[in-house]
């Protein structure tokens, strides 16, 4: 008997769960693929928008580019020989996910324009609601809602009074012309840096409103030649070798630096400082672009064009605090009105909302808003006590600041699939983390965090409202080890 025949017989002997996957971005597409591979087809991917793609669908701003190397930012099982650059543009990444979804025929499992507003656990099942309508009743939920999907809007007086076009960078209005216009950008994170470098030669004047200076790591973004692509196309394993090498390099350098490797951190800090000093000639501008915190305390920005762009004659770095927005532009506290035609809010996302604003109600009426009233704890980033058969991908304390998000999601899903398989075996009906297991895990996280770069003195979206980084303070190796297999002693298993 073949391995496949044996596997088919084993699957036939198992229970078939009804599963809801929340979100059709990178993790949702991945989950749909892996459920099918495991012989499970009774599932629906609920996507709030009209198409797949998640953050790569939402973000279409000029200059959009991934800050993880192309051949590292992909599904391990779906290499792509056609990446155009070392760091891929957003449209190319969106096309990659779209192509993978088509290859695995994912859309037949997707219900579009279906935002889950409430998931309620009753009588051993999850009841999914959208407004007043019950959409589904399922055994298991896999939350693939993502991290950076809820835009943050600045608390600035008068934004609604602006006479020109104003929009968040994640809601880019492509109907608004930029050529020859006076454009203002509020924010100086990765998004603002990418937009600035891309549009500077198109606009009449660009005003970049900076609250906090950013460290920028120098990294060129060359095109892959046809010769290089031919190697990827024709030599078996070439892309897998590159994927492994990039992953190991990233884990042993940046991944170690942020959790306390002083030698690696010094190399990063020195590279960022040299990049600033070598690139920006005007000492006054250089001083205003110099951060007062350690590199990588905030998410480190990768760019090869920002410093050149901000020194163009039509660019201005504005460091005076914003007083308010008026019909004609942005007025700073020095009394000056910065006249604008277009205002872009590059002010990021709420990195701590996770599946919310969806209401999640677990056993005995336990509400997630109450459970997460003071912080966002979870067991191994995946499971919540009191919320049986509810599993998260890229949940709290996932290593989102250390490694490729796709690799993280793949490893977490492999862990979740083992828990789902336990349910399929028929001996367990409810699986959720024990309260004490979650508390122990989060105490270990908090204790280890004191050695990381994220607590060295800066404000970033990594920090929750209590100032605690929702990050991973350990090595890549430990994350891989932890995700190898669940320790069932850490879970409440109810027959």
* Average pLDDT in the chain: 95
DSSP string, 290-353: --SS-TTSSPPEE-SSHHHHHTSTTEEEE-SPEEEEETTEEEETTS-EEE-SEEEE---B-TT-
Q: Global pTM?
A: 0.95
Q: What is the rounded average pLDDT of the residues 313-323?
A: 98
Q: What is the pLDDT of residue 47?
A: 97
DSSP lists the bridge partners of residue 360 as 119
CA gap 24, 40 in Å, rounded: 17
Question: What pLDDT sits at residue 401?
Answer: 77
Task: Say if residues 16 and 40 touch (Cβ distance below 8 Å).
Answer: yes
Q: What is the reported pLDDT for 8? A: 45
Instruction: With cut-offs at 50, 70 and 90, classify the pLDDT of residue 469.
Output: very high
Residue 236 has a pLDDT of 84
Comparison of pLDDT for 148 and 306, the residue scoring more = 306
Q: What pLDDT is attached to residue 1?
A: 30
**Segment 228-278, tens digit of pLDDT:** 999 999 998 999 999 999 999 999 999 999 999 999 999 999 999 999 999
The answer to whether residues 192 and 347 touch, using CB atoms and an 8 Å cutoff, is no
pLDDT in tens, 33-60: 999 999 999 999 999 999 999 999 999 9
The token pair at 384 is 């919540």
Give the pLDDT confidence score for residue 483 in this predicted structure.
98
| Residue 3 clears pLDDT 60, i.e. is over it | no
What residues does 130 pair with on adjacent strands? 133
Tell me, what's the pLDDT at 12? Answer: 54
Spatial distance between the Cα atoms of 265 and 268, rounded to a whole number of angstroms: 5
State the DSSP string of 170-183: GG--TTS--TT-EE
Between 20 and 8, residue with greater pLDDT: 20
Separation CA 115–CA 44 (nearest Å): 13
Laid out side by side, the sheet with 133-138 consists of: 133-138, 125-130, 118-122, 359-361
Is 6 a residue whose pLDDT tops 50? Answer: no
HSE of 415, CA atoms in CB hemisphere, 13 A:
25
Please compute Rg for the chain using Cα positions. 24
Confidence at residue 11, expressed as pLDDT on a 0 to 100 scale: 56
Q: Half-sphere exposure of 147 toward its Cβ, with a 13 Å CA cutoff?
A: 22
Q: For residue 87, what pLDDT band results from cuts at 50, 70 and 90?
A: very high
Asked whether the predicted pLDDT for residue 473 surpasses 50, the reply is: yes
Domains of the chain: 3-150+350-494 (3.50.50.60), 159-215+259-345 (3.50.50.60)
3-state secondary structure of 133: strand
Q: How far apart are CA 376 and CA 230, in angstroms?
A: 46
Question: Distance between CA 210 and CA 184 in Å, rounded?
Answer: 11
Please check the confidence at residue 226 and state whether its pLDDT lies above 80. yes
- Average pLDDT value for residue range 465-477: 93
Closest Cα to residue 191, out of 25, 61, 279, 352?
Answer: 61
Helices 90-103 and 26-37 pack at an angle, to 10 degrees, of 20
pLDDT at 5 over 90: no
Q: What is the mean pLDDT of residues 409-433?
A: 97
For residues 444-452, give the mean pLDDT: 96
In percent, how much of the chain has pLDDT > 70?
A: 97
């Amino acid at each position: 008997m073949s391995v496949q025949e044996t596997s088919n017989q084993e699957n036939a002997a198992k229970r078939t769960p009804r599963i809801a996957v929340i979100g059709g971005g990178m993790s949702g597409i991945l989950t749909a693929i892996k459920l099918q591979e495991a012989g499970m087809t009774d599932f629906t991917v609920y996507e709030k928008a009209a198409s797949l793609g998640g953050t790569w669908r939402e973000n279409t701003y000029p200059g959009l580019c991934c800050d993880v190397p192309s051949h590292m930012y992909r599904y391990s099982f779906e290499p792509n020989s056609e990446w155009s650059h070392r760091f891929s543009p957003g449209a190319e990444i969106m096309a990659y996910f779209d192509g993978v979804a088509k290859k695995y025929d994912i859309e037949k499992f997707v219900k579009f324009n279906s935002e889950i507003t409430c998931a309620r656990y009753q009588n051993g099942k999850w009841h999914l609601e959208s407004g007043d309508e019950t959409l589904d009743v399922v055994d298991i939920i896999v939350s693939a809602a993502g991290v950076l999907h809820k835009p943050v809007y600045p608390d600035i007086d008068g934004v609604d009074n602006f006479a020109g076009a104003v929009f968040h960078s994640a809601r880019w209005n492509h109907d608004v012309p930029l050529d020859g216009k006076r454009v203002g950008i509020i924010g100086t994170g990765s998004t603002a840096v990418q937009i600035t470098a891309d549009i500077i030669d198109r606009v009449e004047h660009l005003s970049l409103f900076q609250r906090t200076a950013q460290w920028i790591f120098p990294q060129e973004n060359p095109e892959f030649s046809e010769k290089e692509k031919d190697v990827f196309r024709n030599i078996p394993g070439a892309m897998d070798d590159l994927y492994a090498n990039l992953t190991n390099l990233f884990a042993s350098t940046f991944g170690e630096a942020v959790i306390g490797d002083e030698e690696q951190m010094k190399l990063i800090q020195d590279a960022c400082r040299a990049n600033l000093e070598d690139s920006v000639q005007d000492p006054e501008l250089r001083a205003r672009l110099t951060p007062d915190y350690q590199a990588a305390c905030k998410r480190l920005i990768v760019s090869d064009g920002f410093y050149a762009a901000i020194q163009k004659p039509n660019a201005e770095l504005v460091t005076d605090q914003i007083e308010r927005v008026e019909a004609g532009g942005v007025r700073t506290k020095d009394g000056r009105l910065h006249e604008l035609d277009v205002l872009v809010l590059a002010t990021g996302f709420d990195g701590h909302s996770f599946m919310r604003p969806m209401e999640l109600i677990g056993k005995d009426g336990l509400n997630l808003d109450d459970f997460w009233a003071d912080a966002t704890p979870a067991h191994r980033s995946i499971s919540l006590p009191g919320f049986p058969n509810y599993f998260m991908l890229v949940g709290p304390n996932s290593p989102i600041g250390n490694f490729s998000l796709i690799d993280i999601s793949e490893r977490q899903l492999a862990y979740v699939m083992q828990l789902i398989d336990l349910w399929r075996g028929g001996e367990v009906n409810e699986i959720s983390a024990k309260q004490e297991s979650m508390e122990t895990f989060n105490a270990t996280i908090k204790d280890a965090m004191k050695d990381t770069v994220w607590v060295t003195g800066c404000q970033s979206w990594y920090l929750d409202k209590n100032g605690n980084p929702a990050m991973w303070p350990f090595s890549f190796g430990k994350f891989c080890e932890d995700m190898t297999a669940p320790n069932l002693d850490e879970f409440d298993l109810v027959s």
